[in-house]
Amino acid sequence: MKTRSFVSARMVAERAGVSRSAVSRTFTDGASVSEETRRKVLDAAGALGYHVNHLARGLRERSNIVCLVVSNMTTPIRARMVDIMTRQLQASGWITMVINTETDTESVSKALRQTLNYRADATVVLSGTPSASLIEACLANGQQVVLINRDDRLKGSSTLAVDNSLAGREALFLLQRAGCKRLGLVTSNAQTASLVERERVFVDIARAQGLNVTVTMAGPTTYESGADAARRLFGRSNGPDGVFCVTDLLALGFMDVARDEFGLRIPEDLCVVGFDDIEQADWRAYQLTTFAQPLEAMATHVVDLLNDSEGASSDRKLFEPIPIWRRSVRPGVKTD
Amino acid sequence: MKTRSFVSARMVAERAGVSRSAVSRTFTDGASVSEETRRKVLDAAGALGYHVNHLARGLRERSNIVCLVVSNMTTPIRARMVDIMTRQLQASGWITMVINTETDTESVSKALRQTLNYRADATVVLSGTPSASLIEACLANGQQVVLINRDDRLKGSSTLAVDNSLAGREALFLLQRAGCKRLGLVTSNAQTASLVERERVFVDIARAQGLNVTVTMAGPTTYESGADAARRLFGRSNGPDGVFCVTDLLALGFMDVARDEFGLRIPEDLCVVGFDDIEQADWRAYQLTTFAQPLEAMATHVVDLLNDSEGASSDRKLFEPIPIWRRSVRPGVKTD
DNA sequence: TTGGCGAATGCACTTGTGTGCAAGCGTCAA
DNA sequence: TTGACGCTTGCACACAAGTGCATTCGCCAA
């Protein structure tokens, strides 16, 4: 049986003719080693292809491992979140284990247990719905827990979120300024805290102003769901002329069907606002007005939290979404 | 200083009133433990919140860690590859460390060294160009190395690839059957082995048949590059009426500009073929004819390779791309 | 020559696990 | 009653690192 044969510090020590401690010290900053032995050790290490075993190091101190829990990775917005998070964590010396979870609680539980098995220093939840008890297990084991865009407010965990109510309010304002009279809202049946919040604020403020809003709940948060929603909304008479889709993907599907199957011109006959600012929103076929999440800043904040480690552990930070004006909404008209 | 206080097997043993070995055996399949002690151990473990430390376990045997090296994660095709790979690896009991690399060799080297530091059992390279010497270091340390869609054929590493020449040939055939006379090819300056192969075969066969092909090399493999290519190709007189873009993203940008800025109808005036079958290719605005990579099958094969471990370690497996017919190419016409 | 001092080095212990080996214990048959 | 046998269980070691403590070595000054 092949036994994995990694080269260990002992082998290096033997080859260099020094003690194993000397090898260890050579690779430890600030330890006391003479220049001569240091060189001998480095030579031997190079010849054998030695690499410090971080697993063994992690036995005593921190493992430098961060678990990234994420679902629906193929979604453009998620892909970007994962990309930015892993990049920044890596740059800061962390190594990230990705746990890809379906949305069902079962697989998330299994995955989070892995987190504990590998003694991750921290767990960052991008999506998925981990059971509160498991999160508590992570906390009990001394892990730092960071939740992004979720409302579960658990003692001891940090939370980052985008200010969804601000987005809902601003979306309404944009459509009103464009002169839209019949408002519509397209949301998904996912009913995440973020989605619900955007939806709620948009509808509440509109109704408070005496405006009617047609709410359509589509399927999952996909292009196809957006397309279906458009068919339902415009299938009956008197469809809306201004729509807030709580997600860019929904918006893009919605736009395609509104144009192709109902001959509506955007933004002349119909204004659309999305949320996320995925790459495709900027494509010529869409030019969707939307809101960007400040992902880089959020990732930076996460990394800061992990590096501080002792910092106020239980807090909640809100980030402002950035409005991105494109052509799917008419520019402001004179209010009469 | 907070000392991370993880629960160890010794603590469980003390609480349960048994030896530490008993705890170890309780969590090892097939080990000899009486039903009574087993129950005592499980009770104590539950009460304390104990989880086996896989890092320590990895000291002696395999770590069950797989390193996934990937660049350009936000690209739809890459996001799907990462999604499918992590999902399948996870289902098979592996844990994946994602190494997000810029394309420059430096960062890939640094990342791969991490791979060695954490004693990953295997390294799977989805993209990026690791230096041959580092791959050899991985192999020397007993790691399994799997390269996907790259041509570096290193002794001891396994390679999976899509049959790019088949795609190039088939793309040409589709355009010819649609009656296209003036052929074009859009590629990127990335010049990956895969891209070069698709390009080469398309051009070679076409020229062998006496057909002229206008080759345009755009920037990186993005939507914007495709858009630029279209402007260059149609800016001069006598633009092509049948184009193979070596990537879907290029194709989508190409289509948008061809339609919006040059008023060309697709597929009446212009036929377009892509490659990858990203989700957006199926959107109503595009309906791009393209080739799908059998990603699930490829991931399954990777997992099989890792699980076999002793299997013929150095081999190369080719997968057939699957043609996806949509509306960006005219259906076959009678050949006169 | 000797005492003193600082730098370098090695010993031994720590971390959390799995496991070979031998001892212990209980049961059953002769 | 005793020997044999099998299931449990604990001891001790291995794994690969970091580090406190004591020891050694070299150098310098008195």
In a domain, A334, yes or no: no
Chain A, 222-241: which have a CB under 8 Å from a chain B CB?
223, 227
* Chain C bases near protein CB atoms (7 A cut-off): 7-12, 14-20
Whether the CB of A91 is below 8 Å from some CB of chain B: the reply is no
Answer for B18: CB within 7 Å of strand D.
yes
What's chain A's length in residues?
336
Confidence band, pLDDT 50/70/90 cuts, at residue A184: very high
Instruction: Using the predicted structure, report yes or no on whether residue A120 has a pLDDT greater than 90.
Output: no
In a domain, B328, yes or no: no
B219 and B304, same structural domain? no
Name the residue with tokens 């990394």.
A303
Round to whole Å and give the CA distance between A289 and A8.
Answer: 57
Size of the A and B interface in Cβ pairs below 8 Å: 152
Of B52, B71, B86, the residue at which a domain comes to its end is B52
Percentage of residues in chain B having pLDDT higher than 70:
93
Task: Report helix, strand or coil for A202.
Answer: helix
Structural domain harbouring B177: 164-292
A33 and A81, same structural domain? no
Instruction: Using the predicted structure, report yes or no on whether residue A86 has a pLDDT greater than 60.
Output: yes
In a domain, B314, yes or no: yes
CA of B10 to C1' of C27 (A): 32
Find out whether the peptide bond into B130 is cis, omega within 30 degrees of 0.
Answer: no
A168 and A113, same structural domain? no
Give the lowest-confidence range in A284-288, B112-116, B302-306: B112-116
A172-195 average pLDDT score: 94
B239 and B144, same structural domain? no
Which CATH number characterizes residue B13's domain?
Answer: 1.10.260
Higher pLDDT, A20 or B300: B300
Q: Write a three-state SS string for chain B.
A: CCCCCCCCHHHHHHHHCCCHHHHHHHCCCCCCCCHHHHHHHHHHHHHHCCCCCHHHHHHHCCCCEEEEEECCCCCHHHHHHHHHHHHHHHHCCCEEEEEECCCCHHHHHHHHHHHHHCCCCEEEECCCCCCHHHHHHHHHCCCEEEEECCCCCCCCCEEEEECHHHHHHHHHHHHHHCCCCCEEEEECCCCCHHHHHHHHHHHHHHHHCCCCEEEEECCCCCHHHHHHHHHHHHHCCCCCCEEEECCHHHHHHHHHHHHHCCCCCCCCCCEEECCECCHHHHCCCCCCEEEECCHHHHHHHHHHHHHHCCCCCCCEEEECCEEECCCCCCCCCCCC
Cβ–Cβ under 8 Å, residues B191 and B161: no
Instruction: Using the predicted structure, report yes or no on whether residue A336 has a pLDDT greater than 50.
Output: no
Q: Write a three-state SS string for B274-307.
A: CCECCHHHHCCCCCCEEEECCHHHHHHHHHHHHH
CA of B163 to C1' of D16 (A): 44
* Chain D bases near protein CB atoms (7 A cut-off): 7-12, 14-20
Supply A38's token pair: 């240091």
B170 and B153, same structural domain? no
In a domain, B332, yes or no: no
Give the lowest-confidence range in A302-311, A313-322, B173-182: A302-311
Count of CB atoms situated within 10 Å of the CB of A161 = 19
Count of CB atoms situated within 10 Å of the CB of B331 = 10
B56, B80, B97: residue with CB nearest A95: B97
Instruction: Using the predicted structure, report yes or no on whether residue A258 has a pLDDT greater than 80.
Output: yes
Instruction: Using the predicted structure, report yes or no on whether residue B164 has a pLDDT greater than 90.
Output: yes
One-letter amino acid at B144 equals Q
CA–CA distance from B140 to each of A6, A51, A136, A278, B122 (Å)?
A: 8, 12, 41, 42, 12
In a domain, B116, yes or no: yes
Residue A109 burial class via C-beta count within 10 angstroms: exposed 0-12, middle 13-18, buried 19 and up: middle
B148-153 average pLDDT score: 81
B153 and B111, same structural domain? yes
Name B12's Cβ contacts closer than 8 Å, sequence gap at least 6: B23, B41, B44, B45, B48, B50
CA of A15 to C1' of D28 (A): 35
CA of A25 to C1' of C11 (A): 15
B192-213: pLDDT as tens digits: 889 999 999 999 999 999 998 9
Q: What pLDDT, on the 0 to 100 scale, is given for residue B336? A: 46
B22-78: pLDDT as tens digits: 999 998 888 888 888 899 999 888 888 888 888 888 777 778 889 999 988 999 999
A303 and A286, same structural domain? no
B175 and B131, same structural domain? no
Which CATH number characterizes residue A208's domain?
Answer: 3.40.50.2300
CA of B156 to C1' of C15 (A): 35
Cβ–Cβ under 8 Å, residues B256 and B288: no
Nucleotide nearest to B59 (CA to C1'): D15
B134 and B38, same structural domain? no
What is the domain count for chain A?
3
Which residues of B are less than 8 Å from A310 in CB distance? 2
Name the residue with tokens 């970007």.
A80
Nucleotide nearest to B53 (CA to C1'): C16
Of B52, B72, B87, the residue at which a domain comes to its end is B52
In a domain, B274, yes or no: yes
A205 and A174, same structural domain? yes
Q: What pLDDT, on the 0 to 100 scale, is given for residue B207? A: 94
In a domain, B272, yes or no: yes
Candidates A85, A86, A94, A257: best to mutate against B (most CBs of B within 10 A) is A86
Chain-wide mean pLDDT for chain A?
88
Confidence band, pLDDT 50/70/90 cuts, at residue A1: very low
One-letter amino acid at B89 equals L
- Pairing of the two strands A213-217 and A158-162: unpaired
A209 and A128, same structural domain? no
Cβ distance B83 to A74 less than 8 Å, yes or no, reads yes
In a domain, A140, yes or no: yes
Chain-wide mean pLDDT for chain B?
88
A188-206: pLDDT as tens digits: 998 888 999 999 999 999 9
A285 and A180, same structural domain? yes
B259-278: pLDDT as tens digits: 999 999 999 999 999 999 99
Which residues of B are less than 8 Å from A91 in CB distance? none
Whether the CB of B140 is below 8 Å from some CB of chain A: the reply is yes
Residue A98 burial class via C-beta count within 10 angstroms: exposed 0-12, middle 13-18, buried 19 and up: buried
Which residues of B are less than 8 Å from A6 in CB distance? 119, 141-142
A313-324 average pLDDT score: 88
